[in-house]
Amino acid sequence: MESVEEKTRFQDLDLPDEIMHSIADLDFKYCTPIQAGIMPQILTGIDGLGKAQTGTGKTAAFLITAFTKLLRNPPEQPLRNGTPRVLVIAPTRELVIQIAEEAAVIGKYTGLRTMAVYGGLDYQKQKSILQNEQVDLVAATPGRLLDFRRSHVIHLGHVDVLVIDEADRMLDMGFIPDVRQIVRSTPVKTERQTLFFSATFNEDVDRLSEQWTTDPVRVEIEPDTVAADTVDQRIYLATDREKLMVIYNVIQQEKPERVLIFANRRNQVRDLCETLDRYGIRCALLSGDVPQAKRVRTLERFKSGEVPVLVATDVAGRGLHVEGVSHVINYALPDDPEDYVHRIGRTGRAGMEGKSISFASQQDAFVLPDIEKFLGRELRCEYPEEELLTPLPKAPPRAPRSSSGRSGGGRPRTGGGGRSGGGGRSGRSGGSSRGR
């Protein structure tokens, strides 16, 4: 591959052939900024702290590093079942599943076994695998991991690489006491490699990293260099009725391949999904009260394109990577400015263009100054274009809600929002605010 100034090629990192084979399959050529900044150093075995926005390749960075270490440092003797040499801790089930899926792809030719350990379902299945098979890499949520450790199903005394992913989110969700127990169950910090990755670092995260790492290299990629450059951001002044018009007309007119719509409350997500479904738009919902098994199926349907519109709370806002999300719509602006950045970071990934549409109504416009301060730039508010306020067609009467509700979205319909006609191109028009 041709050398490009200021870009690092994966082939320049002296990776094992098994890893390079997977990288070739994935058509990865040049490292992202966080990968180029941290991988040459942590591949030597030292501890590391990596800060970068979601969608910038942090997961691949620590997985490639971990697999390289395992391949070049095989155990002196076979380990008993349920004894991982790489442990990745993440705050949510969805993120754990995603990490395990990416590990399976990157480790395809290594002969190493990866596994996701998380709560909510499949307890006996996960327990059986750990008891009966050797697993090399485990990605886990803290609660389920501690359950298996206490029952002596999983053994953490031979962890060579410990990864704490989304460290700031761990703090926000109150997981640190559990993580402390887990860390104490692994070898002392001088006998393992410890990697912290997160979209933000604060004083609490820094304090923990000082306790759990030894002379770590620290690499920080600022958001304005990697995040919203490729996202066409629009802030529309609109009433609740106009919000629905804009969403419906964007989906019908631009035919996006995949759309993520964020709301702040579960009842908002449910009501909006039901309304879009009544207008013939295939959609599904994702929120904390949806059972875990259904959440997994919903994500798979969205990733495959079977359902082109996903309406979600911020359970989908962190760490999840779905290819081909061309539009992110904030039905309601989040209270936390960082969540705004994480939401719009679902699109415009890997250099592709994306569009974000946010609504500033009387109820939530007051959070805009904090978002602008966090972004370091002004977001110009405007009224929706005339074509986006085309009146809605007459919708069928609302069907009575079943006793079980609609958590997970309705059956696929043949109405708008399909994949024909646009192929996911966002289309740009003048007068919008651009990136950061």
Cα 11–chain centre separation: 27
State the pLDDT at residue 379. 87
The answer to whether 250 touches 424, Cβ cutoff 8 Å, is no
* Token reading at 292: 């875990």
In angstroms, the CA 109 to CA 63 distance is: 14
- How far is Cα 293 from Cα 297, in angstroms, rounded to an integer? 6
Tell me the torsion sign for CA atoms 109, 92, 88, 342.
Answer: positive
* 131's tokens: 């008891």
Task: Look at phi and psi of residue 81 and say left if phi exceeds 0, alpha if psi is from -120 to 50, else beta.
Answer: beta
In this prediction the pTM is 0.66
pLDDT at 136: 97
- What is the number of residues in the chain? 436
What tokens appear for 116 in the block? 């996701």
Cα 352 to Cα 7, 216, 223: the distances in Å are 18, 32, 16
Cα 240 from chain centre: 28
**152 class by beta-carbon count within 10 Å (0-12 exposed, 13-18 middle, 19+ buried):** exposed
Superfamily of the domain at 10-222:
P-loop containing nucleotide triphosphate hydrolases (3.40.50.300)
> Which tokens belong to 334?
């989040």
Q: Tell the CATH topology of 227-434.
A: Rossmann fold (3.40.50)
Handedness of CA 25, 27, 30, 33 (dihedral sign): negative
15: left (phi over 0), alpha (psi -120 to 50) or beta: beta
Q: Tokens for 401?
A: 């809600």
Q: What is the DSSP string of 53-99?
A: -TTSSHHHHHHHHHHHHHHHS--SSPPPTT--SEEEE-SSHHHHHHH
pLDDT tens across the length of the chain (436 residues)? 455 557 899 999 999 999 999 999 998 889 999 999 999 999 999 999 999 876 788 999 999 999 999 999 999 899 999 999 999 999 888 889 999 999 999 999 999 999 999 987 789 999 999 999 999 999 999 999 999 999 999 999 999 999 999 888 887 778 889 999 999 999 999 999 999 998 778 888 889 999 999 999 999 987 644 345 678 899 999 988 899 999 999 999 999 989 999 999 889 999 999 999 999 999 999 887 777 678 778 888 998 889 999 999 887 555 566 778 999 999 999 988 878 888 888 887 666 778 999 998 877 778 899 888 888 888 889 999 999 999 999 876 665 554 444 444 443 343 344 333 333 333 333 333 333 3
Q: Where in the chain is the domain with CATH 3.40.50.300?
A: 10-222, 227-434
What is the model's pLDDT at position 237? Answer: 92
